[in-house]
Structure 1
Amino acid sequence: MDPQRLKDNFAQVAQQGDAVALFFYSDLFVRNPHLRDMFPIGMSGQRDKLLRALGHIVARVDDLPTLVPFIQQLGRDHRKFGIVAEHYPQVGASLIATLQYYSGSDWTDELAEDWNAAYSLVAKVMMEAADEDALSSPAWWNGEVLAVERRRFDIAVLRILPDRPLPYLPGQSVALEVPARLRHWRYYSMANAPRQDNSLDFHVRLVDGGPVSSVLVCQMQVGDRVRMGAPIGTLTLDESSTRDVLLVAGSTGLAPLKAMLEQITRRPQPPRVHMFFGARTRDALYDLEELSKLANEFPWLRVVPAVSDESEGHGFSPFLQSGDGVEHGTLPDVVARHGPWNDHDAYVCGPPEMVDHTVERLTTGLGVGRERIRQETFVDTQR
């Protein structure tokens, strides 16, 4: 298998954009009509995920130590869709047919051998990971909604009880599926550390056109049911570190960081923690009342709220009044005002632009090495 030949060929094929995934799924469903019901009615999001996953795999095809864990997670994660061993050859046949079609006259026997070898390896790793995972975990957990609190027209906090304990690390995410949107799975981070009663909190923001967020924010009621996939994610606390902690959360990116904060409160000797919580407007600081209570309870915790789209004295929050300590400016700027942060580990979550700019500021002028920053965006959680 020639890694560079695979990369070059995929780069050529990927120039056709969404047509590649459209051809793939059309070929797959024509050959295997029984597979269509395993996918959502609207396929645009699924096509995007396919291209991103293929691109990720091909880009790292010559870096197995990095690639194998990603493929193993794909195998475990696909259990919730009902994927079994017999489906892998069917998918592989359509993938090869798609690559051959868009390669045109550049398709060769060598390329066919390379792609077959690469896919066989990917399928083997995925199936082995799925089989191992099945020994200890269900394909999904059923959950019942215990409470729904609508903090704003576009933000809701839900408490859900799984039908069995769901082991996870604070900062991780699970995919949720609601009965009204079957086969549409969307990732949301737990906003609490594990509890004795096993309940989970989720902070959900309404996404324009989002098939799952619209149901969770606008329609969910106590007693409703959901399904949850296995936990994933590496935005977790470095328990080996003794450094102080910097948490930077934009909007509902607060959820995983709040879970980590709760984890820290359980330590016998917590480090000093600075949490920056930002939104565009004051009323979008939807969880500031809870964070303020924690800051009052724990002397090692400082919470700094920030808004970017309101001038001082403008806007209203049920928890805040004029002169209340809310800072003005983008989160990267507000974090920079309080730096440097050279003696801290940093955790950043929220909108992609905010995360990227914050990480850049931390590494270029605020004394935080890249190896001491863990980050996640809303896009990352939908991988």
Structure 2
Amino acid sequence: MDPSDDALLRQTQRLLSTSLTFAGGPVEVAERLRAALMQAHPGLMAALPGGPASHAAQLARALTWLVHHLDRPPLLVEGTGRLGAALAACGVEPGRMQLVGAALAEAMRAGMAPGQWRQDFDLAWRSTWQHVYEWISHGAVRAGYDPPVWDATVVEHELRRPDLAVVRLRPDLPMPFTPGQYARIQVPELPAVWRPYSLAGAPRRNDLVELHVRAKTTAGVSGTLVHRTRVGDTLRISRAEGGMTLPADPSRNLLMIAGDTGVAPLKALLTELADTGDARSAVLFWGVRDLTELYDIDEIAATARAARRATVVPVVSEGDPGPYASGLVTDAVAAYGEWSDHEVYLAGPPLMLAATSRALQQLGVTPDRIHHDPAE
């Protein structure tokens, strides 16, 4: 960079930092910016995962990052390009972002005392946004041939069993997914390996991704996630895949059958039913070997109670079943009711998928109504 360009950049950075402080700080500015965008272009915010609180938090982090990185153009261009790719994945076209610059300047001005807002503040924010907008647009174009990958920070890690953990991640940029989908995860220990996991988060509520991970050994991606991953670690996530999502026809009642951690995507479907107030009936059978494998039953039962017409039926195949049904999950499904007019969702180990599909077809469920992701 030319020394004069560098001086101008640092001056602009000082103006952004000073005005952000005068306006109440990034959290307050982000709240006003979110409210302004909701009023001017509600579809823009609705395209992003999460709710009002997570949207405001994302905007606050973005403002802080922008000010801190303004004096490092290569990082700024790369970061805003990645944002453009993430927004494109959410379905946000760059043209819809043009109004953000004016809304941002107004969110700054509205937080200052009379007379504090200056012309150089306004010029600094508007000129900065114009460059950012161009880099976001380039990133959105790049996403068409170079699918985005998200860095994500581990915010919770709960060892629910010696071999199983529930891990919650916060992607650094908006990451869209539909309940029932899965994504591939990469850990720093194994940079060449991507392993698929179902996503059990609540994209209408927050920007967290929830993984249910069982590790048969301490090796591999699953072993790393269960035994050596800690809060604060950074992982990488591919874009969401899979079509095991709720049917568009609201008249189709649902039968869900899970084995072991296969309950994760079905928990996501129950969460979606609860969050949307969906009136269709849903019954989730969770087949486990013994009571110790019901690692998430309290949360899943609470989710079902929050939905309008959802029921959870744990089925324990060995030992004392406690208050739950005993035997094979397919026998419990057959004894519970008639399912030929339901959409059926299966998730679990490959052998369980094959055996359950056969049993359902014997019960009169046609193959086109049985949904599960391909076994890997």
**TM-score > 0.5 by shorter chain:** yes
Corresponding residue pairs, total: 237
Aligned match of 1:340: 338
Percent identity over the alignment?
36
Aligned match of 2:45: none
Paired residues of 1:169 and 1:193 also in contact (CA < 8 A): no
Counterpart amino acid of residue 200 in structure 2 = A
Residue 243 of structure 1 aligns to a residue whose secondary structure is: coil
Name stretches of at least 5 consecutive residues in structure 2 with no aligned partner. Answer: 1-139
Aligned match of 2:371: 374
Q: How far, CA to CA, are the matches of 2:222 and 2:371 in structure 1?
A: 25
Give the one of 114, 130, 144 matched to 1:135. Answer: 144
Change (3 A) 1:327 1:210: farther
Give the one of 208, 211, 216 matched to 2:220. Answer: 211
Q: How far, CA to CA, are the matches of 2:360 and 2:251 in structure 1?
A: 19
Paired residues of 1:144 and 1:225 also in contact (CA < 8 A): yes
Q: How far, CA to CA, are the matches of 2:206 and 2:314 in structure 1?
A: 31
Q: How far, CA to CA, are the matches of 1:241 and 1:373 in structure 2?
A: 17
Counterpart amino acid of residue 260 in structure 2 = S
**Displacement of 1:337:** 1.5
Aligned match of 2:161: 152
Residue by residue over 1:239-294, the C-alpha shift from the partner in whole angstroms, topping out at 9 and shown as x without a partner, is 22412111111111011111111111133442111111111111111111112223
Q: How does 1:249-288 map to 2 (within 5 A)?
A: 249-288=258-297
Pairwise CA RMSD:
2.1
Q: How far, CA to CA, are the matches of 2:142 and 2:286 in structure 1?
A: 36
Task: State whether structure 2 residue 353 is matched by structure 1 residue 355.
Answer: yes
Paired residues of 1:363 and 1:369 also in contact (CA < 8 A): yes
Residue 376 of structure 1 aligns to a residue whose secondary structure is: coil
Paired residues of 1:141 and 1:228 also in contact (CA < 8 A): yes
Q: How far, CA to CA, are the matches of 1:375 and 1:209 in structure 2?
A: 28
Paired residues of 1:251 and 1:284 also in contact (CA < 8 A): yes
Change (3 A) 1:196 1:263: closer
Poorly superposed stretches of 4+, deviation over 4 Å: none
Change (3 A) 1:296 1:193: closer
Change (3 A) 1:133 1:273: farther
Residue by residue over 1:10-48, the C-alpha shift from the partner in whole angstroms, topping out at 9 and shown as x without a partner, is xxxxxxxxxxxxxxxxxxxxxxxxxxxxxxxxxxxxxxx
Counterpart amino acid of residue 337 in structure 1 = A
Name stretches of at least 5 consecutive residues in structure 1 with no aligned partner. Answer: 1-130, 313-321
Paired residues of 1:157 and 1:203 also in contact (CA < 8 A): yes
**Displacement of 1:180:** 1.4
Q: How far, CA to CA, are the matches of 1:245 and 1:261 in structure 2?
A: 10
Paired residues of 2:273 and 2:307 also in contact (CA < 8 A): no
Give the one of 228, 253, 268 matched to 2:237. Answer: 228
User: Which one has a bigger Cα radius of gyration?
Assistant: 2
Residue 353 of structure 2 aligns to a residue whose secondary structure is: helix
Residue 255 of structure 1 aligns to a residue whose secondary structure is: helix
Q: How does 1:19-58 map to 2 (within 5 A)?
A: none
Counterpart amino acid of residue 368 in structure 2 = E
Counterpart amino acid of residue 347 in structure 1 = Y
Paired residues of 1:192 and 1:260 also in contact (CA < 8 A): no
TM-score between the two structures when normalised by the length of structure 1: 0.58
Give the one of 255, 269, 289 matched to 2:298. Answer: 289
Aligned match of 1:309: 318
**Displacement of 1:218:** 0.8
Counterpart amino acid of residue 238 in structure 1 = P
Relative to structure 2, which stretch is displaced further, 287-296 or 224-233?
287-296
Residue 168 of structure 2 aligns to a residue whose secondary structure is: strand
Q: How far, CA to CA, are the matches of 1:195 and 1:273 in structure 2?
A: 19
Q: How far, CA to CA, are the matches of 2:360 and 2:219 in structure 1?
A: 32
